[in-house]
Structure 1
Amino acid sequence: MDTPQRAGHVAVIGRPNVGKSTLTNALVGAKVSIVSPRPQTTRHRLLGIASFPQGQILLVDTPGLHRDQGKSTATAMHRWMNRAARGSLEGVDAAMLVVRAGQWDEADTFAYQALRQAKVPVVLVVNQVDRLKDKTALLPYLAQVSEGREFAAVHPVSALKRKGLEPLVNDVLALLPEQAPLYAEDEITDKSQRFLAGELVREQLMRQLGEELPYATTVEIERFVVDGALLRIGAVIWVERDGQKAIVIGKGGERLREIGAKARQQMEQLFGAKVFLETWVRVREGWSDDEAALRAFGYHD
């Protein structure tokens, strides 16, 4: 007798920079969520569609959950990202709490408590186990973080190296309702190519600029035209000050060319098409703390 298929929504939750997007991409088998070494790379709620013979996991990748700093200090962008992360818990069938192997702090506890309040089964995903220098420390660590906390399953994995994912998939699918897949097998996300193009430009900003500047940038796709086998894409990089504009452009336009070249390579790989990409840098003062500007740039609740 055939095992019935299962399908459902699973929130991918955790503090910033624990590898949630890397895990989402690994399970989907394609790059649907941008990644960088910097916290808060993910700004939007994004659905990654992971299809398997035994069912379909709809991964809701989210911005990292962090404590509200209060309206007096947190920017509109920070408040929006927290709303997006919390909103991702509505209507899901299960959740994966992603933590970094060997670490557990107040931010992890905060994320766990948010999941307990949502009353969904939680699978603990201990990521980056390949980076643990002392492998004998893993079992005591797993026992320690599980004590007094309720998890449907605990899985040590390396999302980057795609290790430990098969048993994780099996346990997550077991938590989902019996039903046919909700999306076609070849679909990998609910986001448009236009949205993904903007994210791939922003990924290069996160990777190539200094500590603070990436958080003052966003990307707006002004043009996305299918011209036969060619995609013609025009991307505006928005910054908050003229000095930031000069940094993004770089000496003789060198940095902007590098950002565009690497983003174009990623687009061609993801879209399976030739891409002609143009980029511009413009200034809109204080956009990250302006609710109207956020809405204009596509940050919708």
Structure 2
Amino acid sequence: MEDDVPEYPDDYRSGYVALIGEPNVGKSTLMNAIMGAQISIVTRKPQTTRTMVLGIFNSDEAQILFLDTPGLISPKYLLQKAMMQAAEQAIADADIILHIADLPKLHKYEYKVDERLVALLRESGKPCLAALNKQDRVADAEKKEARNALESTGVFKAIHPISALLNEGIDPLLDELVTLLPVHPPYFPPEHLSDRPERFFVSEIIREKIFEKYKQEIPYSTEVVVVDFKEKKDVDYIAADIIVEKESQRKIVIGAKGAAIKDIGTKARADIEKFLGRKVYLELHVKYREGWRNDKNWIKRFGYGE
């Protein structure tokens, strides 16, 4: 007996949408809102997203493959350079580019649109839309000014005011994205939410807790590597290394009598169990690799860049 093969309408659409914008404008929040699940980690700090993350959205008429990307910056070290390569690769892979702009920030800077971004979008040759995020935090007059500023660039087919956090304006945005997608069968089975393995999401959840706990230096100097992941009958066993750049950072992450690492582990384990839907025993170790963010071998080993 042959396996049942799903049938799709002749006008079914499927394709890639790159989410592009500056750090902390709400790209990951928007993708999570669309997906109805946390695919990308979100914190109040910029540059939380370090690599391209795929989120697979399915409807009766389309499959949209969202590429969440690191915020666009001028890189200062090799890790940031690898992050920008991920954003550039997303633009190259995408069928559509969705630029996410921060409405309050546009107002603050008198509606000046980054010329480098405009040039990047224009050179891509891809259809571009814009989402004016955080519309709940500005007046209508400010929304109009922001819309006018983006329209004046001539690169956007449409501009949608939204609030990713409050889930406002997202349905019309999705409807328009679908109309721009190529006619194509789905790339992934409908039950898939991403192409990333569970290990990736576990490491990201741990890194999220580090971003939430510490301020300036430590979150940006930290990498998380899952070194063991065993699924067992009652409780999964997960061991992960937290990598920092300095011995002094290692001591801070461990904390007095291990209090800090215990707090990170407790909070991370709760979210990992929620994500996996299973009980977890989480073991964390802190190690330091001097200057890893500027070492091409460590960058490659941790899965960044080419």
For the aligned residues, what is the CA RMSD? 1.6
Match of 1:174 in 2: 179
Structure-2 residue corresponding to 1:20: 27
Scaled by the length of structure 1, what TM-score is found? Answer: 0.93
Give the deviation of 1:146 after TM superposition.
Answer: 1.6
State the identity as a percent: 36
Offset at 1:36? 0.7
Q: Which consecutive residues of structure 2, in runs of 5 or more, have no partner in the other structure?
A: 1-8
**CA distance in 2: counterparts of 1:3 and 1:14, whole angstroms:** 34
Between 1:241-250 and 1:110-119, the stretch displaced more is 110-119
**CA shift digits 1:138-173 (9 cap, x unpaired):** 123212322232212111111111111100000011
Q: Does structure 1 residue 117 correspond to structure 2 residue 119?
A: no
Deviation at 1:254, TM superposition (A): 1.6
Describe how 1:250-261 pairs up with structure 2 within 5 A. 250-261=255-266
Matches within 5 A, 1:232-247: 232-247=237-252
Please state if 1:32 is matched with 2:23.
Answer: no
Identify the residue that residue 98 of structure 1 maps to in structure 2: 100
Of 62, 84, 91, which residue of structure 1 is paired with 2:69?
Answer: 62
* Contact 2:49/2:71, CA 8 A, preserved across alignment: yes
| 1:254-301 Cα shifts (integer Å, max 9, x gaps) | 221111111111111211111111111111100111010111222242
Q: 1:88 is aligned with what amino acid?
A: A
How many residues are aligned here? 294
CA contact (8 A) 1:288 1:294 kept: yes
Provide the TM-score with structure 2 as the length reference: 0.91
Partner-residue secondary structure (3-state), 1:11? strand
Confirm or deny that 1:7 pairs with 2:19. no
Contact 1:221 1:234 in 2 (8 A): yes
Deviation at 1:3, TM superposition (A): 7.8
CA contact (8 A) 1:97 1:124 kept: yes
Q: Provide the C-alpha distance between the structure 1 equivalents of 2:116 and 2:198, rounded to a whole number of angstroms.
A: 34
Instruction: Supply the distance in 2 between the matched residues of 1:292 and 1:273 (Cα, whole angstroms).
Output: 35
Letter in 2 for 1:40: Q
Distance in 1 of aligned mates of 2:47 and 2:215: 14
Q: Using a 3 Å threshold, how does the CA distance of structure 1 residues 223 and 107 change in structure 2: closer, same or farther?
A: farther
Indicate the residue corresponding to 1:75 in structure 2.
Answer: 77
Distance in 2, Cα, partners of 1:266 & 1:113? 40
- Report the CA distance shift for 1:112/1:27 in structure 2 as closer, same or farther (over 3 A): farther
1: CA distance, partners of 2:114 / 2:236: 41
Note if contact 1:231-1:274 (Cα within 8 Å) is conserved in structure 2.
Answer: yes
Higher mean C-alpha deviation, range 87-96 or range 140-149: 140-149
CA shift, 1:188, in A, is: 0.6
**Structure 1 residue 84: Cα displacement:** 1.1
Match of residue 189 from structure 2: 184
Determine whether 1:294 maps to 2:296: no
- Check 1:83–1:130 CA distance in 2 against 1; reply closer, same or farther (3 A cut): same
* 1:87 and 2:89 matched: yes
**Which amino acid is the alignment partner of residue 231 of structure 1?**
D
Query: What is the CA–CA distance in structure 2 between the aligned matches of 1:62 and 1:260, rounded to whole Å?
Result: 27
Which letter maps to 2:128? V
Q: Which amino acid aligns with 2:254?
A: I
Asked whether the 8 Å contact 2:18–2:90 carries over to 1, the reply is yes
Secondary structure of the 2:303 match is coil
1:126: which partner in 2? 132
- Choose which of 39, 52, 68 in structure 2 pairs with 1:45: 52
8 Å contact from structure 1 (residues 63, 84) kept in 2? yes
Q: Which stretch of the first structure deviates more once superposed, 265-274 or 102-111?
A: 102-111
Query: CA 1:141–1:10 in structure 2 vs 1: closer, same or farther (change >3 Å)?
Result: same
Residue type at the aligned position of 1:116 = R
Say which SS state the counterpart of residue 93 (structure 2) adopts.
Answer: coil
Give, in angstroms, the shift of residue 203 of structure 1.
Answer: 0.7
